[in-house]
Amino acid sequence: MIESFLKYIEFEKRYSKHTVISYKNDLEQFNIFLSNLDQQLNLQSVVYPHIRSWVITLVEDGISPSSVNRKMASLRSYYKFLMKSGALKKDPTIQLKALKTSKRLPQFAQESEMQRLFDLVDFGNDFTGKRDELMMELLYATGIRRSELIALKVDSINLGKSQIKVLGKRNKERIIPLNTEVAELIQKYLKMRDEAFGNTNNFLLLTDKGEQLYDGFVYRKVKRYLGATTSLEKKSPHILRHTFATHLLNNGADLNAVKELLGHSSLAATQVYTHNSLDKLKKVFEQAHPKA
């Protein structure tokens, strides 16, 4: 039933490949745990105490509460699928409760650091340089995810309206406006791209060989360029997404508007960035108010 479930979440629920792999790993890990408990046990014969024992074991092994909660979510989805398909009559996860987690504020680069990056870093004027510059600009100026950046196609760009169409999680489309600087950079890049590779590939950003970008490529580039101007411990494409959202809110953007730009399904996911904005307001208050 695991394979049927994985096909269901990939093709019907439209989960990303990374999520499908995570669910698969979690279910296989739980299955191994069951076999070690009793070789007669399997995923369809478990009851709540078996799952509770697994959760306790994970915690004792030092797995973080957020990771344990994710694994529990995998089980919930799987047993919900079994119930829906009629393969199970009672859901063994119904008593499961999420572990308490400490809220970690998203890391982000300072506005001055991002300014230095685009003012001082010499990307170069060849295809590679313009591609790298556009990649960094798009991540910071639009807040798109790494997977969304990689999936961008030439026909996703509407320079006439200065906007891009992004295909997000679960195939949900959203429109994101482009500032003039990024729109002009796209025009320059597209000319160089066409001269180098013609119309052989419809993906917007290409490797030096004219192929679609991949996760490791984008991660290494972002780490390199962020490392040149920031002191952040973590230097990843997602940091630029955090930076985009935080800078918008720090400069007075509406929370609901930021939610739509990020492609969040709920406002709760976006509200985490307001803590960073409030920290900045608190510092301004302490520096400026006579009674602070």
More confident site: 14 or 126: 126
Q: Is 105 helix (H, G, I), strand (E, B) or coil?
A: coil
For the ranges 37-46, 58-67, 195-204, 271-280, the lowest mean pLDDT is seen at 271-280
Dihedral sign, Cα of residue 148, residue 149, residue 153, residue 158? positive
Q: Which residue among the candidates 165, 169, 174, 223 is catalytic per the annotation? A: 169
Q: Which residue among the candidates 146, 193, 241, 259 is catalytic per the annotation? A: 241
* Domain span(s) for CATH 1.10.443.10 in the chain: 111-286
Active site residue 104: no
The pLDDT tens digits for 142-182 are 999 999 999 999 999 999 999 999 998 888 899 999 999 99
* Average pLDDT of every residue of the chain: 91
The pLDDT tens digits for 207-245 are 999 999 999 999 999 999 999 999 898 999 999 999 999
Kindly tell me if the per-residue pLDDT of 283 is higher than 70: no
Interhelix angle 65-85/17-37, rounded to 10 degrees, is 90
Q: Which residue among the candidates 145, 146, 242, 247 is catalytic per the annotation? A: 145
The pLDDT tens digits for 3-44 are 999 999 999 988 888 899 999 999 999 999 999 988 888 898
Active site residue 235: no
The pLDDT tens digits for 182-212 are 999 999 999 999 999 988 899 999 999 999 9
Class of domain 111-286: mainly alpha
Q: Which residue among the candidates 23, 78, 189, 273 is catalytic per the annotation? A: 273
* Domain span(s) for CATH 1.10.150.130 in the chain: 2-85
Which pLDDT belongs to residue 127?
Answer: 97
Domain 2-85 has CATH 1.10.150.130: yes
Active site residue 52: no
- Flag whether the pTM goes above 0.85: no
Active site residue 264: yes
Please check whether residue 176 is in contact with residue 280, taking contact to mean a CB–CB distance below 8 angstroms. no
Q: Measuring CA to CA, which residue among 22, 38, 40 is closest to residue 78?
A: 22
Active site residue 241: yes
Active site residue 15: no
